[in-house]
Structure 1
């Protein structure tokens, strides 16, 4: 069972790495296209915005934070420690009882970091009451 979990984690990791490489290539091409437009006088300089986005660490920090419960859960299952599994169950029970305003706020923060429009959550009433 845990081998399949490791396999899934490895596949997800390799997909994330491949997407990061594609992003770097796309950003490089965008900078080149922008430089060409600037040289022709069609656009003003906007390179600082692109440079700031490339050195941004928030995406990685959020990904690590969101991955921690999965890693702890995997450790509790692999370790065969009943107290660890009880604590993980307690964590997820308590986590499910968080107020909807907090979970909605967290979703909006994560969505804004990854460039996803999360305002639909508030329009639909949050999903959790």
Structure 2
């Protein structure tokens, strides 16, 4: 009998948690609708939509890792004292420096759009 009452209690608790989650989804949907109505009426700005779109992706973290990786490699080659590592790193940056300009601008454009740096890209334009 103790097992039956324990299972009954667990089922009731599970049902209660499920109902709470369904209510939460309903309230979040209602809040999103109200927020969208207020944005359409001009009562509030569209900042919330930008935040929502940036919260759901890992692309910023991946790009940040890609940007930090050369710094880590440089630090490793300097502090390890391994001459072969320093030679390979110099060779890497030699080849990196000789990349086509379209690839460099593509990379700058990707980073700029991910981090919202489009106004800052104007300083790189040729005059």
TM bin, normalised by shorter chain, reads 0.5 to 0.7
Q: Distance in 1 between matches of 2:111 and 2:80?
A: 31
Give the number of the structure whose residues are more often helix, by fraction.
2
Match of 2:101 in 1: 100
Q: List per-residue Cα deviations over 1:63-113 (Å, max 9, x = no partner).
A: 100111110111011110000000000001110000101000000000000
Relative distance call for 1:96 and 1:54 in structure 2 (3 A) is same
Structure 1 position 42 matched with structure 2 position 38: yes
CA contact (8 A) 1:62 1:110 kept: yes
Q: Distance in 1 between matches of 2:90 and 2:73?
A: 11
Alignment of 1:1-129 (within 5 A): 38=34, 42-44=38-40, 50-117=51-118, 120=122, 123-124=125-126
Counterpart secondary structure, 2:117: coil
Query: Structure 1 length as normaliser, TM-score?
Result: 0.57
Counterpart secondary structure, 1:107: helix
For the aligned residue pairs, the C-alpha RMSD in angstroms reads 2.9
Q: Which has the larger radius of gyration?
A: 2
Q: List per-residue Cα deviations over 1:40-71 (Å, max 9, x = no partner).
A: x5324x76653332122111110100111110
Counterpart secondary structure, 2:39: coil
Q: Distance in 1 between matches of 2:102 and 2:123?
A: 10
Query: Across the two proteins, how many residue pairs are aligned to each other?
Result: 89
Task: Could you tell me which runs of 5 or more consecutive residues in structure 1 were left unpaired when the two chains were aligned.
Answer: 1-34
